[in-house]
Amino acid sequence: MKKITMRLKSKLWLALLLVLSLLISACSPTKEADVKSAGGNEPYKIGAVLDISGNSSSLGVPERDTLLMMVEKLNANGGVKGHPIDLTIMDNKSDETESVLAVKTLIEKGALAILGASSSGTSMAMIKTVQSEKVPMISLAAASSIVEPTSERQWVYKTAQSDIVMINKIISYLKKNNLNKIAFLYMNNSYGDNGKKAISAAVKDSGIDIVAEEKFDANDKDMTPQLTKVKASGAQAAIVWAIPPSASILTKNFKDIGLSIPLIHSHGVGNQKFIELAQGAADGVILPIGKLSVAQQISDNDSQKKVLESYIADYSKKYNAEPNSFGGYAWDAFNLLVNALEKAGPDRVAIRDELEKTQGFVGISGVFNMTPQDHNGLKEDSAVLVQVDQGKWKLIE
Amino acid sequence: MNERHGYKMKLKNHRGFILLLLLLIIPLVAESNYLYSTLVIIGLYAIIVQGLGILMGYAGQVSFGHAAFFGLGGYTAAILTTRFHWPTLLALFASAILPGIIAGLIGRQTLKLRELYLALATLSFGILVHIFFNEGGELTGGPSGMSGIPNLSIGSFEFDSDQKFYMLVWLVLLMLLIGIYNLVHSRTGRALCSIRESEYAAENAGIDCARLKLQAFVFSALLAGLAGGLYAFYVTFISPSPFSFHTSVQFVLMAVIGGLGTFWGPVIGAVVVVALNELLREIVPLLIPGAGGEYQIIIYGVILVGLMIFQPKGLSGIGQYFRIPLKKQLKTDVKIRG
C-alpha cells in the first residue's frame, strides 16, 4: 500500500515538474509560427481578448464568431497587402484579472494590436498594460470611460457607441414631443450605472426634469413597486436602461399596472430575445438602436446600407443565424485595424497614428471619424429610433 | 517532541527554498512581462492564502469571506489615493489596517459561531461587502468601478513596471513567510494548533481561545487587505467583480489544495491554481481547436478533483517523496478535521 502511494506521489511530483517546465516554455518568447502565408509573406499577428465564457458570454461569442469569419475571408483574399493575418483569440472568462494576464501574453507573442475586451470592466483592466507597453487596443465595450480622457488613453479606441449618442437620440425625441417630465429606471450594474450618469449630464440644460429615479437588480422578478412610484410621480415618459430578462419583465409590469405614457428603452434591448420574453407587452416600446437590426428598412441612400447587408449575408451564410450588434462591434474593430494596417504596416506606433486619423470609415455601428479627442468617432447619425410593432422593429424617423 | 518538530520543519524548509529559488530564478531567465504579472498575481494570492492558512490550518476556523477583505483593501487604497490624494505608501498601509479593524469588529461576534455557522456568517459578510461595493455610489464608483489609481511609489521610486512590482510582491511574501515561520513555532503557534484539535481541551489548558481566534482572524484580514491594496496599485483599476463570493471560494480552494496546516501549502496552492489556469488556456486550444473557457473549466475541475483524491492533505504533502519517511510526515500534518 505504502509503495503504491509512493509511486503515485512520484508521478505527481513529476507532473508538477512538467507543469513548471511547461510554464517556462509557455512564457519564453515563442518562435515565429509557420502560418501558411498568402503570398509567401510574413503574417501580421494580432490578438483578441474576449469574454467568451462567464457572465458576458452572450457578447463574446458573436464577437468571436465574427472575427473568425472575417479573418478567414481576408486571408482567402490575400490578406493585408499579401500578408495573412494571424489572429489569436483568448478567453478571459469575463474576469478582469484574467483579462490582464491574457493581454500580456498576447503582447508578449508579438501582437501588433489588441481587439477587445467585450465588456467595460474587462476592457478597463487592460488599459494600463496597453498604455505602458504602447500597443494599440480597440475595445468592443460601450462605456465612454474606456477612451476618456484621451490624454491618458492614447492607445485605446472603441467601436461601440457611447451611451451619450443614444441618449441624445432619446432627448431629441422627447423635445420633439414636448415631454418634459421623465422617469428614469435603470438596472443596478455597470450598464445601468453608465446610462444614469450619461442621462443626468445630458438633461442638465435641456429643460427636461427627471421626476423619478428608480433602480432594480439584474435578477429581479418584479418591478411593480418601482413602476408604482413612477406612476405617482406624474412623469410624461419613462426611460429604462436595462437588458433582458429584467427589461422584459419591466415591460410586462408596465402594461399590467396600466401605465400609458411612452416607454423608451435603451439599445440594450436591441435583440429579439427582449420581444420574446416580454410576451407581447413590447409593442409600442421605443428605443434607439444601431442600424444593423433595421438594415432592410433604412434608405438606400444610407452609406451603411451596403456594408450592413453584406455582413448580414456573410454571417447568416456561415452560422445560420442573424448577426447582432455585438458581432458588429467586432466587425468594426477588425476592419478599422485592417484599414490602419494597410497604411501603416507592421508597426504599433504607425498603426495607432493611422487609427487616430480614421475618417469616414463606414462600419456596422456607424460612420467612424476619429480625432485625437474622440477615440470612438461615432455621432448621433450612427443610431436610429425604432418602435416595436407586432413583435418587429419598425423605423420611426 | 518540540525539538524534533523544529528539526523537521527546517528540513522541509530547505526543499521549500529550492522551490522558492526556482520561482525567483525563472523570471530572470525568461524575461517576460507576462511571467512577471502571472507571478505577481500568484504572489498576491499567496499572501492572502498565507493568512487564510493560519486561520484555517492552525486555528481551525473556516472563512468564506476573504474576498471581502481583499476588496476592502483594494477599495481603501483606490479611494484614499484618487478621492483624497493620499501618498500611495500611506494608502497601502491603510488598506491593510482598515480590513483588520473591520475583522476585529465582526470577528468578536462571528467567531463565537462554529464550523458551518461560522462559514455561513463569513459568507454573508462577503456578500454584504460586495453589495456595498456595488451600491457605494460616488464613493466606490458603483458597478463601473474606479480607474486612474496611481502607481505605487516610495519617495521618488515608482513601481511602474511588472518586474519592479514582481520584486515588491515577492519580497513582501518572503518577509511574511519568515514571520509566519516564527509564529507557528512560537507558543502562539502551538496554542493555535491546539484550538484546531479541540477547543475545549485548549481552553482547559489555559489558552484564551476567543482572543487567539480573533487575532488569527484579524491577521488574515490584514494580509488580505494588504494584497488588495497591492492589487489596486498593480492593475490601477478596480471594480466589484473580482471580489465576489467566487473569489472567496478560490482562496479556500488554494489553501486546501496546498495543504492545511503546512508551512508551504499556501504558496503551493496559489502557484498550482493560477499556473494551472494559465497553462490550460495555452494547452486546451491546442488539443481541442476552437475550445473556449468552458472546456478549460471542465478540465481544471477534473484535475483539482484528481488532486484531492490522490493527495487529500494538499500538495505540500508530496514533499514526502523526497525520502521523508511517511510516518514522520503524518506527524507534521497533524490530522485535519473535516
Q: Tell me the CATH number at A200.
A: 3.40.50.2300
Interface of A with B in 266-285 (CB under 8 A): none
Q: Which amino acid is at A339?
A: N
Cβ burial of A369 (10 Å; 0-12, 13-18, 19+) is: middle
Provide the pLDDT for residue B7: 42
Is A2 part of a structural domain of the chain? no
Task: Give the residue on B whose Cα is nearest the Cα of A123.
Answer: B237
pLDDT tens readout for residues A33-78: 444 444 568 899 999 999 988 878 888 889 999 999 999 999 999 8
A94, A57 Cβ separation under 8 angstroms: yes
Strands A137-139 and A114-116: parallel
A107 in reach of chain B (CB within 8 A)? yes
Total domains in chain A come to 2
Residue of B34, B236, B272 lying closest to A105 (CB–CB): B34
Task: Give the residue on A whose Cα is nearest the Cα of B40.
Answer: A101
Side-chain half-sphere exposure of B31, counting CA atoms within 13 A:
3
One digit per residue, the tens of pLDDT, for chain B of length 338 reads 344 444 444 545 556 666 677 767 766 676 788 888 888 999 999 999 999 999 988 888 889 999 999 999 999 999 999 999 999 999 999 999 999 999 999 988 888 887 788 889 999 999 999 999 988 888 888 888 888 899 999 888 888 888 889 889 988 998 898 889 888 888 888 898 888 888 888 888 888 888 888 999 999 999 999 999 999 999 999 999 899 888 998 899 999 888 888 888 898 899 888 988 888 887 877 777 766 667 777 888 888 888 888 877 777 766 555 544 444 544 555 444 43
pLDDT at A374 over 50: yes
Question: Do A368 and A388 fall within a single domain?
Answer: no
> Which residues on B lie below 8 Å from A6 (Cβ)?
321, 326
Find cell 521610486 and name the residue. B157
Q: Quickly count: other Cβ atoms within 10 Å of residue A68's Cβ.
A: 17
Interface test with chain A among B15, B25, B33, by most A beta carbons within 10 Å: B33
Please name every residue paired with B158 in a beta bridge, in sequence order, or none if there are none. Answer: B153
Question: Do A390 and A363 fall within a single domain?
Answer: no
Is A63 part of a structural domain of the chain? yes
Is B338 part of a structural domain of the chain? no
Question: Do A212 and A247 fall within a single domain?
Answer: yes
Is B337 part of a structural domain of the chain? no
Provide the pLDDT for residue A54: 80
The domain containing residue A334 runs over which residues? 44-162+308-377
Question: Do A261 and A389 fall within a single domain?
Answer: yes
pLDDT at A247 over 60: yes
pLDDT tens readout for residues A317-336: 999 988 988 999 999 999 99
Provide the pLDDT for residue B300: 83
Interface of A with B in 18-77 (CB under 8 A): 19-20, 22-24, 26-29, 52-54, 64
A5 in reach of chain B (CB within 8 A)? yes
Total domains in chain B come to 1
Provide the pLDDT for residue A37: 42
Q: Tell me the CATH number at B143.
A: 1.10.3470
Is A126 part of a structural domain of the chain? yes
Is B211 part of a structural domain of the chain? yes
Q: Convert B313-324 to b/e letters by CB count within 10 Å (16 or more is b).
A: bbbbbbbbbeeb
- Maximum mean pLDDT: which of A10-14, A246-250, B10-14: A246-250
Is A38 part of a structural domain of the chain? no
Question: Do A192 and A292 fall within a single domain?
Answer: yes
Question: Do A128 and A250 fall within a single domain?
Answer: no
Provide the pLDDT for residue A3: 56
CA distance A295 to A305: 6
CA distance A358 to B323: 66
Contact A27 B148 (CB under 8 A): no
Provide the pLDDT for residue A356: 95
Is A33 part of a structural domain of the chain? no
Contact B237 A27 (CB under 8 A): no
Per-residue pLDDT band at A27 (split at 50, 70, 90)? very low
Is B184 part of a structural domain of the chain? yes
Question: Do A277 and A252 fall within a single domain?
Answer: yes
User: B309 is written with which cell numbers?
Assistant: 483524491
Is B177 part of a structural domain of the chain? yes
The domain containing residue B326 runs over which residues? 2-332
Is A14 part of a structural domain of the chain? no
Question: Do A58 and A183 fall within a single domain?
Answer: no
Question: Do A387 and A255 fall within a single domain?
Answer: yes
Residue of B235, B283, B321 lying closest to A10 (CB–CB): B321
Provide the pLDDT for residue B215: 92
Main-chain dihedrals φ then ψ at residue B30, nearest 5 degrees = -100, 95
Rounded to two decimals, the ipTM of the complex is: 0.77
Provide the pLDDT for residue B113: 81
User: B292 is written with which cell numbers?
Assistant: 473556449
Alpha helix segments (H runs only) across chain B? 2-29, 33-53, 66-82, 88-110, 115-135, 162-184, 187-197, 199-204, 209-235, 245-258, 265-287, 293-310, 326-332
Question: Do A253 and A317 fall within a single domain?
Answer: no
Question: Do A212 and A181 fall within a single domain?
Answer: yes
Is A6 part of a structural domain of the chain? no
Is A155 part of a structural domain of the chain? yes
State the pTM of this model: 0.82
Question: Do A389 and A263 fall within a single domain?
Answer: yes
Helix (H) or strand (E) holding A136: none
Interface test with chain A among B147, B164, B323, by most A beta carbons within 10 Å: B147
